[in-house]
């Protein structure tokens, strides 16, 4: 979902600066392509800044990160990139820090956990551009037919799944641990069990912690082995397929993000959303996700880049983007606005979960390799004959090795 711009330099008059931005495309059709958002924003900016031109190219999420990497490798880094990861570029010394670019008020307005996730060794390089959280979706019609209520604990989730299965529901709980986005489903479950990918106290990975092993033991024993996760093995079920099954009315419960609301409503599915159940009650921490804006030092223009970014993060622009794409805002001021606005009521549960969310450890350059390993292996933890402790230990070894190689 990003636009690619190409290198940056001087064009036109000798005093005119051209900034090139590569951005991701958050639209699902030509009608709502991010190109339209950026065209409108750039037009407004250039109107008041005649000495600066901003050229934006937008690419799909399947290719935007690769496009930027190719540009950087070719020595033609864009001035700005709005993509999925920043840590490798920060480690290589290729990025400006946020404080070198943004006004104090702009930088201070980022939601604290998003700003923290944009930091490497305590210095912020990644500027959050869009965010999201995850909640447990449930099919209201199927729940009514089964005579059950939304779960607050793992035990209640398993009981609800049993009732849904007894009623013939194809996927009582859809558990997508396939390679598309297994790292997300995994993290949601780890957080609900009081664990996570990292040991926050030690500042290291803690994938094979006792809490995490207990969580996956429960998943395997109480959901998967009891055939409460549907006809497709979790290791083979991808998120997109699970979402489609939900919009087809074949799923009782699954974890989802805001875009699922529109897709389900379009298919006439009546749904509700609640916090992810935990071992002893609703999970206090939800999983958060952010996409990132970063600025490359290669072409200079720090002053112009910073001024443009202050405009990008103006309340009006952040609000317009969030509403256009059903995403959550990255600033406190717009979070306040959306949390109280009637037109954003549908996003209310996600907005409420955002301040207490935890993000992937994206500030670690090792995370890309660790995430890939999770996608490849985690489904084996709940497979017949699988051992959660063994798989989580293998992932921990991979994570430690990647950290050591940094």
Cα torsion 214, 217, 222, 224: sign: positive
**Which residue reads 């965010």 in tokens?**
131
Look at 262 and 235; give whichever has higher pLDDT.
235
**Read out DSSP for 159-199?**
HHHHHHHHTT-SEEE----STTTHHHHHHHHHHHTT--SEE
What digits encode the pLDDT tens for the residues 88-101? 999 999 999 999 99
Name the E strands within 227-285. Answer: 251-256, 271-274
C-alpha to C-alpha distance for 185 and 256, rounded to whole angstroms = 9
C-alpha to C-alpha distance for 394 and 217, rounded to whole angstroms = 16
Picking from 33-42, 194-203, 354-363, 383-392, which range would have the lowest pLDDT averaged per residue?
A: 194-203
Walk me through the domains of the chain, giving residue ranges and CATH numbers. 2-132+289-359 (3.40.190.10), 135-275+367-405 (3.40.190.10)
Please give the mean pLDDT across all residues of the chain: 93
Q: What is the pLDDT of residue 61?
A: 87
Q: Indicate if the pLDDT at residue 5 is higher than 50.
A: no
Residue 149 · residue 139 · CB < 8 Å:
no
Q: What is the pLDDT of residue 28?
A: 77
Q: pLDDT band at residue 201, thresholds of 50, 70 and 90?
A: confident
Picking from 163-167, 187-191, 353-357, which range would have the lowest pLDDT averaged per residue?
A: 353-357
Q: pLDDT band at residue 375, thresholds of 50, 70 and 90?
A: very high
How many CA within 13 A on the CB side of residue 404?
6
Residue 93, sorted as left (phi over 0), alpha (psi -120 to 50) or beta, turns out to be left
What digits encode the pLDDT tens for the residues 294-326? 999 999 999 999 999 999 999 999 999 999 998
Q: pLDDT band at residue 405, thresholds of 50, 70 and 90?
A: confident
What digits encode the pLDDT tens for the residues 214-238? 999 999 999 999 999 999 999 999 9
Residue 228 · residue 403 · CB < 8 Å:
no
Per-residue tokens: 81: 């990139």
């Amino acid at each position: 979902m990003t636009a690619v711009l190409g290198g940056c330099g001087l064009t036109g008059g000798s005093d005119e600066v051209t900034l090139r931005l590569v951005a991701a495309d958050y639209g699902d059709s030509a009608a709502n392509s991010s190109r339209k958002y950026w065209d409108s924003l750039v037009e407004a900016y250039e109107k008041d800044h005649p000495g600066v031109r901003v050229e934006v190219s937008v690419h799909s999420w399947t290719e935007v990160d690769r496009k930027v990497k190719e540009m950087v490798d070719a020595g033609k880094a864009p001035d700005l990139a709005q993509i999925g990861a920043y840590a490798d570029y920060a480690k290589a010394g290729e990025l400006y820090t946020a404080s070198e670019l943004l006004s104090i008020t702009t930088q201070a307005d980022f939601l604290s956990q998003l700003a923290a996730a944009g930091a490497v060794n305590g210095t912020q390089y990644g500027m959050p551009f869009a965010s999201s959280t995850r909640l447990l979706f449930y099919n209201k019609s199927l729940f009514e037919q089964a005579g059950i209520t939304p779960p607050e604990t793992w035990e209640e989730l398993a009981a609800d799944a049993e009732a849904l299965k007894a009623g013939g529901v194809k996927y009582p709980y859809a558990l997508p641990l396939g390679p598309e986005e297994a790292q997300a489903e995994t993290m949601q479950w780890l957080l609900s069990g009081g664990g996570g990918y990292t040991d926050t106290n030690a500042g290291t990975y803690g994938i094979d912690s006792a809490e995490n092993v207990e969580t996956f033991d429960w998943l395997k024993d109480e959901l998967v082995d009891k055939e409460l996760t549907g006809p497709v093995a979790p290791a083979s079920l991808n998120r997109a397929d699970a979402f489609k099954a939900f919009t087809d009315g074949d799923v009782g419960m699954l974890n989802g993000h805001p875009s699922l609301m529109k897709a389900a409503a379009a298919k006439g599915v009546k749904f509700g959303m609640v916090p992810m159940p935990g071992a002893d009650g609703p999970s206090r921490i939800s999983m958060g996700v952010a996409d990132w804006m970063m600025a490359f030092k290669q072409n200079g223009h720090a002053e112009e880049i910073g001024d443009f970014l202050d405009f990008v993060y103006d309340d009006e622009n952040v609000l317009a983007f969030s509403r256009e794409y059903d995403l959550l805002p990255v600033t406190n001021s717009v979070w306040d606005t959306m949390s109280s606005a009637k037109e954003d009521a549908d996003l209310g549960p996600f907005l409420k979960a955002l301040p207490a969310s935890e993000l992937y450890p994206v500030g670690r350059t090792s995370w890309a390799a660790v995430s890939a390993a999770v996608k490849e292996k985690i489904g084996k933890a709940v497979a017949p004959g699988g051992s959660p402790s063994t798989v989580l230990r293998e992932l921990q070894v991979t994570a430690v090795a990647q950290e050591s190689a940094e």
